[in-house]
Amino acid sequence: MESLGQDRPITVLVVDDNAANRELAQQTLLDEGYAVVLATNGLEAIAAFSAPSSVPPDCVLLDVRMPTMDGFEACLRIREAPGGKDVPVIFLTALRDVDTFDRALEVGGDDFLTKPVRPPELLVRVKSALEIRRMRLELGEQYELMRGQRDHLMRAQLMKERLMAFVVHDLKNPVNAMDLHAQLLLRNKGLADDVRATVAQMRSEAKNLTRMISNLLDIAKADEGKLDVKLVGVEIARMVDDVLLELTPMASAHAVTLDSAIEVKSVTADRDLLWRLLANLIENAVRHTPRDGRVTVSVVEVAGEVEVAVRDTGPGVPPSMRERIFDPFVQLDAQGVHASRGGRGLGLAFCKLAATAHGGALVVDDASPGAVFRLRLPRVLPS
Ligand SMILES: Nc1ncnc2c1ncn2[C@@H]1O[C@H](COP(=O)(O)OP(=O)(O)OP(=O)(O)O)[C@@H](O)[C@H]1O
Ligand SMILES: [Mg+2]
């Protein structure tokens, strides 16, 4: 039995109009020894505090959207009810956004749990809400400070999520639309050569932008441990050909020859991540190769692993920088070694994370002349 040093179990009031949600929360809490009181809307929740005979609940799980009276209004009223001033109120909400969070705090909420609620998370939040209340009573001012810091962190996290959602939907879509319009233009047979070249350039810039956006997103995902790898069998010769084909206009513009030597039939990898790994490495190689140079992609089997190597005939990477160039925002170009063209130093950071997420590795070596980036992928069966 969970108790607060009193001789009755801790009582949690669960307020939700959805019966299945109520039941899940109730079962989870009962299994842990809590007592549970149920309410289906805000009015019933307030009644649980106002009933003269009953003891007020020790903690409230409060749904936001409910008929009759929503969670925000109910929270305001609970704060005025007897025994409701200090009771921890945890909002349950399907909306994980800054506005809901701000509103929840404004009406006196203590925490914020996103639906669908996972039982272990629910228990942790209830426990910590009760613990925080105990500390609040004990520590007063200190508590206010800590709570302020936690709210600040939570808000920053939600802002980051909103920014990421903005990047995915609001930036990717117009870039894709631009590319589509450029493709439509290119279908026009009567287009003058110089116009055609300009439109092709627009397409290549749009692709570049999409590549950078995707790199940025995946780096953020990997930071949060959310970079998913969907392993499938990939016909590697075909993928290399397709990526090289996509980068041919850029290579031609730099007068760089693209080549491949593939000795492995298939690899086990995430198709999208592997494609972008190749595209980033080959794009870098082309950009750093002087005119009439060559970029070669080879795939061989080494000691039971697959090694994908991208080799160029450019200036190479100085030994002192061979680890650092994989850090985000690191560019040698900025130090005047090579000419920059508006990249942000995110490509290799993404590549490294994607390689690691595959259980593989990515390193750079000297190819004298030039650099060779070696991606090692373990030989595993697709799950
Ligand atoms: N093949 C290469 N030869 C020489 N230097 C390279 C090569 N590839 C990458 N670099 C150096 O490593 C830096 C980081 O590469 P990275 O791909 O992360 O960023 P970027 O290409 O500058 O920008 P982004 O990929 O974000 O558009 C580059 O700026 C460049 O200085
Ligand atoms: Mg790059």
Per-residue pLDDT of the chain (383 residues; tens, 9 = 90+): 565 556 688 999 999 999 999 999 999 999 999 999 999 999 999 999 887 767 889 999 999 988 888 999 999 999 998 888 889 999 998 877 778 888 888 899 988 888 888 899 999 999 999 998 888 778 777 777 888 888 888 888 888 878 877 777 788 888 999 999 999 999 999 999 999 989 988 888 888 888 888 898 888 888 777 788 999 999 999 999 999 998 998 899 899 999 999 999 999 999 999 999 999 999 999 999 999 999 999 999 998 899 999 999 999 999 999 999 999 888 886 543 344 456 778 999 999 999 999 999 999 999 988 999 999 999 876 55
Which residues are near ligand 2, the ion (C-beta closer than 5 Å)? 284, 347
Ligand nearest to the CA of 346: 1
The atom of ligand 1 lying closest to the CA of 370 is 3
CA of 348 to the centre of ligand 1 (A): 7
Distance (Å) of CA 104 to CA 41, 86, 109, 163: 17, 15, 5, 21
Which residue's C-alpha comes closest to atom 19 of ligand 1? 345
Distance (Å) of CA 349 to CA 76, 157, 215: 47, 22, 8
CA of 316 to the centre of ligand 1 (A): 11
- Cβ-count burial of 62 within 10 angstroms (0-12 exposed, 13-18 middle, 19+ buried)? buried
Residues in the chain: 383
Residues 6+ apart with CB under 8 A from 295: 251, 256, 257, 258, 259, 282, 285, 286, 289, 310, 311, 312, 313
β 294-302/305-311 pair status = antiparallel
pLDDT, tens only, 28-58: 999 999 999 999 999 999 999 887 767 889 9
3-state secondary structure of 362: strand
- Supply the mean pLDDT for the chain: 89
With a 6 Å cutoff on the Cβ, whether 345 touches ligand 1 is: yes
CA of 361 to the centre of ligand 1 (A): 17
How far is Cα 207 from Cα 154, in angstroms, rounded to an integer?
Answer: 34
Out of 325, 350, 364, 374, give the residue to mutate to test ligand 1, the one with the largest number of ligand atoms within 8 Å of its CB. 325
Q: Which CATH architecture has domain 231-378?
A: 2-Layer Sandwich (3.30)
Of 214, 225, 219, 230, residue with least CA distance to 270: 230
How far is Cα 90 from Cα 104, in angstroms, rounded to an integer?
Answer: 9
CA of 324 to the centre of ligand 2 (A): 14
With a 6 Å cutoff on the Cβ, whether 289 touches ligand 1 is: no
How far is Cα 180 from Cα 196, in angstroms, rounded to an integer?
Answer: 15
Is 87 within 8 Å of 66 (Cβ atoms)? no
pLDDT at residue 201 in the model: 85
Ligand nearest to the CA of 350: 1
How far is Cα 56 from Cα 47, in angstroms, rounded to an integer?
Answer: 10
| DSSP E strands, 101-236 | 111-114, 231-235
CA of 68 to the centre of ligand 2 (A): 56
Helix axes 236-253, 193-223, angle to 10 degrees: 130
β 111-114/231-235 pair status = unpaired
pLDDT at residue 135 in the model: 81
Ligand nearest to the CA of 310: 1
pLDDT at residue 6 in the model: 62
How far is Cα 209 from Cα 218, in angstroms, rounded to an integer?
Answer: 14
With a 6 Å cutoff on the Cβ, whether 213 touches ligand 1 is: no
CATH number belonging to domain 11-139: 3.40.50.2300
Which residue's C-alpha comes closest to atom 7 of ligand 1? 284
CA of 299 to the centre of ligand 1 (A): 21
Region at 2 (left for phi over 0; alpha for psi -120 to 50; beta for the rest): beta
Residue with tokens 């669960």: 14
The atom of ligand 1 lying closest to the CA of 349 is 18
